[in-house]
Amino acid sequence: MEQSNIETKNLILRPYTLADSQLVAKLAGDIRVAETTLNIPHPYSEDLAREWISTHKNNWLNRTGISYAVILKSCSQLVGTASLVSISGEEAELGYWIGHEFWGKGYGTEAASALVHQAFEKFSISVIIAEHLSSNPASGKVMAKIGMVKVDDIKKRDRNGLLSQIEVYKIESS
């Protein structure tokens, strides 16, 4: 089964291609984006982007992860990522990032909401968790807007090996 696109009012979520590598490196490589995540390294090279994108097909086929390029319908611009990772049975973890120049426009909320809906309706996922750095409350607002509820505060090592305060959210299909 092929990974199909997800369409929303303003966005198309589509599978990544290697042709996206340069733009992924530019957007995710922005220190302002990397600092809002646990896992995006800085600097983030085009080689790292290619390596990351090249894992997507196997993740999809093995049902361990689903990653989408978040594209603006109006101009076909790649603005970020929405993913389900660590898929295990009926549970998954939601992850997303949006390029800095596109912050504050609702694209993260729109993409995350669409992916959660798709996960419940088409991917047989019934529980989704998401985590964000406590230093990134905007991500927590996205989670709350899509119906997730905060369930825990934990500490986790970030991309630099430093212990960071993390807020954990959860949503279950109804």
Provide the whole-model pTM.
0.96
What is the reported pLDDT for 160? 83
In a domain, 54, yes or no: yes
> Where in the sequence is the domain holding 28, given as residue range(s)?
6-130
Residue 156 in any domain: the answer is no
pLDDT at 96: 98
What tens-digit pLDDT sequence spans the chain (174 residues)?
A: 789 999 999 999 999 999 999 999 999 999 999 999 988 999 999 999 999 999 999 999 999 999 999 999 999 999 999 999 999 999 999 999 999 999 999 999 999 999 999 999 999 999 999 999 999 999 999 999 999 999 999 999 988 888 999 999 999 998
Q: How far apart are CA 46 and CA 20, in angstroms?
A: 9
Measure the CA–CA gap between 173 and 159, rounded to whole angstroms: 31
Task: With respect to residue 86, please indicate whether it lies within any of the assigned structural domains.
Answer: yes
Looking at residue 136, its amino acid is N
Q: How far is the CA of 44 from the CAs of 63, 69, 102, 130, 150, in angstroms?
A: 26, 17, 19, 23, 30
Residue 136 lies in a domain: no
Q: Annotate 76-130 with DSSP letters as a single string.
A: --EEEEEEEEEEETTEEEEEEEE-GGGTTSSHHHHHHHHHHHHHHHHS---EEEE
Sequence letter at residue 111: A
For residue 101, tell me if it sits in a domain. yes
Question: CA 166 to CA 24: how far, in whole Å?
Answer: 25
- Whether residue 18 is contained in a domain is answered as yes
C-alpha angle 9-60-146 in degrees, rounded to nearest 5: 35
Domain containing residue 126: CATH number: 3.40.630.30
Q: Is residue 160 part of a domain?
A: no
Half-sphere exposure of 110 (CA within 13 A, CB side): 22
- Give Cβ neighbours of residue 11 (< 8 Å, ≥ 6 apart): 70, 71, 72, 73, 79, 107, 110, 111, 114
Look at residue 174 in the predicted model and tell me its pLDDT: 83
Number of domains in the chain: 1
